[in-house]
């Protein structure tokens, strides 16, 4: 493999890894702040116990989210220096704002929240929880605005062959970003909701025969499951609406990505939506592919009109060759690709199946959320073994949907790292092959292997710790009652 391929694998692995931790942090942070608010307002100790239990799991996860995020901040310059030089004038601004506006708030107020239980007045402590959790959402806003600019560059002019920022407002209100942000944040809530349902459901089932309140925490588990179920259901509704919006923008702004999502070879009018394909979708001529199709649905998804035309890959390739060239320029920095024909078609099996898996796992997680609200209605506790098994398995579905969604989004824009905006400024686009740093393969192999191993090892540790705290229940996180006569000097929390 050459530097380009290695650097792409590395960015993919580290980002997918980072985005396993991030959605749980964002979703759970806001939900925990909500639990603490319920406690402060009602004084019901059930909510305090919920806050403590889910807060502990949040912290175990947060640590990993932070450290994997550090690498991302530097990886642009390390492995993608040509890209960084090209887009720096625009791309750096949201990144720096994210640091200054969101990361500082997050990290500082999280510290105050963890250690401030007995140092701060109750309401100030609660405000710290909100500051921290809203900052996680704010950081998502800035980084998604940066990413959306790569998908649909706006607010720039071309000076000396490079995009130059003319309006930060245009970048921060890019319609691509305004659709991507609620979609991603809703995905985060789906993760947190499924987590509450899975863990809470397992505990609820485990203590089902406990009539005497020996396990005093049953109200905690019941409230968690119901809370998680509602969050998951509402999140899915938001995901469906924002997903449709994003799809319509994508047809307009990145037609190739949408055609690749459907593996739609020929332009069709009206076009059907492929539900499931049998055969090799990567054949550009569509031979051998049998697809179960809903007629005219794709036309509707694209343009809100059941009869409209949807352009296929063959047509688009033709157009891209005319607009952006048939061959890569002859340039030493492009290595083996120098002078070679440009492949404008993304990796079709990945985009086609990634899109379907995202929707499929998303739908499964919605089904689980609605199902759990039904089976736990009016104080019921399902007695069958299927309940805890399905609830725990359900935790994985929104994680998978998130990962496949991002893999589809990012691999669907290849071979571009900055996708040309059809109604934007000419020349503001960049091939991925042109963005990579002039490193040796040895260097990138080293970092790829190191980061994969370190991340892998830490993932094992995190899952081990989370499982341990989940099993420990609320008793494992509540401070033990102090026997009389001991000093009150102890910190409420110490590492």
Partner 1 sequence: MDLADLWFCVIAVLWLGYLFLEGFDFGVGMLMPVLARDDTERRVMINTIGPVWDGNEVWLLVAGGATFAAFPGWYASLFSGTYLLLLLFLVALIGRGVAFEYRGKVDSDRWRRWWDRVIVAGSLVAAIGVGLLVATTVLGLPIDADGNRVGSPFAAVTAESLLGAAALVGFALVHGSVFIALKTDGDIRHRARAFAIRVGPWALLPLAGLLVVVQLTSGKWWTWTAVAVVLVVAALAFERLTAGREGQAFAALGVAVVATVVALFGALYPNVLPSTVDPAFSLTVADTASSPYTLEVMSWVALFGTPAVLVYQGWTYWVFRKRVSTAHIPPVHVP
Residue numbers 321-350 binding partner 1 by CB under 8 A: none
Is 483 one of the binding residues for partner 1 (CB under 8 A)?
no
Which is nearest to 34 in space by CA: 20, 53, 16, 47? Answer: 47
Of 430-459, binders to partner 1 (CB under 8 A) are 437-440, 442-443, 446-447, 450-451, 454, 458
Nearer to partner 1 among residue 66 and residue 240 (C-beta): 66
Which two structure tokens, joined as six digits, stand for 200?
A: 């809470």
- Whole-angstrom CA distances from 213 to 120, 209, 217, 225, 474 are 33, 10, 8, 18, 14
Residues in contact with partner 1, shown as a per-residue x/- string from 161 to 200 under the rule CB under 8 A: ---xxx-x--------------------------------
Is 1 one of the binding residues for partner 1 (CB under 8 A)?
no
Quick one: which of 276, 306, 374, 493 contacts partner 1 (CB under 8 A)? Answer: 493
Is 159 one of the binding residues for partner 1 (CB under 8 A)?
yes
Q: What is the dihedral of CA 490, 491, 492, 494, to 10 degrees?
A: -120
Q: Nearest distance from residue 274's CB to partner 1, in Å?
A: 40
Q: Nearest distance from residue 1's CB to partner 1, in Å?
A: 17
Nearer to partner 1 among residue 70 and residue 294 (C-beta): 70
Is 381 one of the binding residues for partner 1 (CB under 8 A)?
no
Nearer to partner 1 among residue 114 and residue 396 (C-beta): 114
What span, in angstroms and rounded, lies between the C-alpha atoms of 52 and 58? 10
Quick one: which of 79, 263, 271, 316 contacts partner 1 (CB under 8 A)? Answer: 79
- What is the SS3 assignment for 177-222? HHHHHHHHHHHHHHHHHHHHHHHHHHHHHHCCCCCCCCCCCHHHHH
Q: How many other CB atoms are there within 10 angstroms of residue 282's CB atom?
A: 14
Count of residues of this chain found to bind partner 1 when the rule CB under 8 A is applied: 86
Which two structure tokens, joined as six digits, stand for 140?
A: 């998502």
Q: Nearest distance from residue 323's CB to partner 1, in Å?
A: 26
Of 91-150, binders to partner 1 (CB under 8 A) are 91-93, 95-101, 103-105, 107-112, 114-116, 119-120
Residues in contact with partner 1, shown as a per-residue x/- string from 20 to 59 under the rule CB under 8 A: ---------------------------------------x
Nearer to partner 1 among residue 355 and residue 431 (C-beta): 431
Contact call for residues 285 and 317 (beta carbons, < 8 A): no
Which two structure tokens, joined as six digits, stand for 395?
A: 């935790």
What span, in angstroms and rounded, lies between the C-alpha atoms of 226 and 405? 27
What span, in angstroms and rounded, lies between the C-alpha atoms of 267 and 221? 52
Of 462-481, binders to partner 1 (CB under 8 A) are 465, 468-469, 471-473, 475-477, 479-480
Contact call for residues 101 and 138 (beta carbons, < 8 A): yes
Of 58-77, binders to partner 1 (CB under 8 A) are 59-60, 62-64, 66-71, 73-74, 76-77
Nearer to partner 1 among residue 70 and residue 278 (C-beta): 70
Nearer to partner 1 among residue 214 and residue 489 (C-beta): 489
3-state secondary structure of 293: strand
Is 275 one of the binding residues for partner 1 (CB under 8 A)?
no
Bridge partners for 159 per DSSP? 162
Which two structure tokens, joined as six digits, stand for 145?
A: 């605005």
Q: Nearest distance from residue 99's CB to partner 1, in Å?
A: 4
Of 393-432, binders to partner 1 (CB under 8 A) are none
**What secondary structure does DSSP assign to 391-423, as a single string?**
HHHHTHHHHHHHHHHHHHHHHTTTTEEEPPPTT
Q: Nearest distance from residue 385's CB to partner 1, in Å?
A: 24
Contact call for residues 81 and 91 (beta carbons, < 8 A): no
């Amino acid at each position: 493999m050459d530097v380009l391929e290695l650097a792409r694998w590395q960015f993919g692995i580290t980002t997918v890894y980072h985005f396993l931790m991030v959605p749980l942090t964002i979703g759970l942070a806001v939900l925990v702040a909500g639990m603490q608010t319920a406690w402060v307002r009602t004084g019901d100790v059930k909510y305090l116990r919920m806050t403590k239990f889910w807060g502990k799991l949040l912290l175990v996860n947060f640590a990993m989210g932070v450290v994997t995020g550090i690498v991302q901040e530097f990886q642009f310059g390390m492995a993608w220096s040509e890209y960084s030089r090209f887009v720096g004038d625009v791309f750096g601004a949201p990144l720096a704002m994210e640091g200054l506006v969101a990361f500082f708030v997050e990290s500082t107020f999280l510290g105050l929240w963890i250690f401030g239980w007995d140092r701060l007045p109750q309401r100030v402590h609660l405000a710290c929880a909100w500051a921290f959790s809203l900052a996680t959402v704010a950081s998502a806003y800035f980084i998604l605005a940066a990413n959306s600019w790569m998908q649909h560059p706006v607010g720039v002019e071309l000076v000396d062959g490079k995009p130059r920022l003319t309006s930060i407002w245009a970048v921060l209100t890019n319609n691509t970003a305004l659709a991507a942000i609620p979609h991603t944040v809703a995905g985060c809530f789906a993760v947190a909701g499924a987590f509450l349902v899975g863990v809470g459901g397992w505990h609820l089932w485990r203590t089902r025969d406990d009539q005497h309140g020996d396990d005093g925490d049953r109200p905690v588990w019941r409230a968690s499951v119901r809370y998680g179920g509602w969050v998951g259901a509402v999140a899915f509704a938001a995901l469906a609406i924002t997903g449709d919006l994003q799809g319509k923008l994508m047809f307009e702004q990145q037609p190739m990505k949408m055609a690749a999502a459907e593996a739609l070879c020929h332009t069709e009018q009206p076009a059907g939506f492929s539900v499931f394909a049998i055969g090799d979708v990567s054949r550009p001529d569509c031979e051998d592919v049998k697809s179960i199709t809903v007629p005219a649905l794709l036309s509707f998804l694209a343009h809100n009109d059941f009869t409209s035309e949807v352009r296929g890959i063959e047509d688009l390739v033709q157009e891209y060759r005319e607009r952006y060239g048939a061959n890569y320029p002859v340039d030493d920095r492009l290595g083996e690709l120098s002078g070679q024909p440009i492949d404008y078609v993304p990796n079709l099996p990945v985009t086609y199946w990634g899109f379907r898996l995202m929707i499929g796992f998303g739908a499964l997680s919605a089904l689980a959320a609605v199902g759990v609200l039904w089976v736990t209605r009016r104080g019921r506790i399902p007695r069958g073994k299927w309940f805890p098994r399905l609830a725990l398995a359900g935790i994985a579905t929104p994680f998978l949907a998130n990962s496949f969604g991002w893999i589809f989004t990012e691999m669907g824009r290849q071979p571009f790292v900055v996708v040309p905006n059809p109604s934007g400024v000419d020349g503001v686009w960049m091939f991925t092959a042109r963005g990579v740093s002039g490193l040796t393969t040895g260097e990138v192999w080293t970092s790829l292997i190191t980061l994969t191993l370190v991340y892998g090892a830490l993932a094992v540790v995190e899952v081990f710790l989370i499982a341990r705290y989940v099993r420990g229940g609320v008793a494992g996180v509540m401070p033990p009652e102090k026997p009389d006569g001991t000093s009150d000097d102890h910190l409420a929390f110490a590492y």
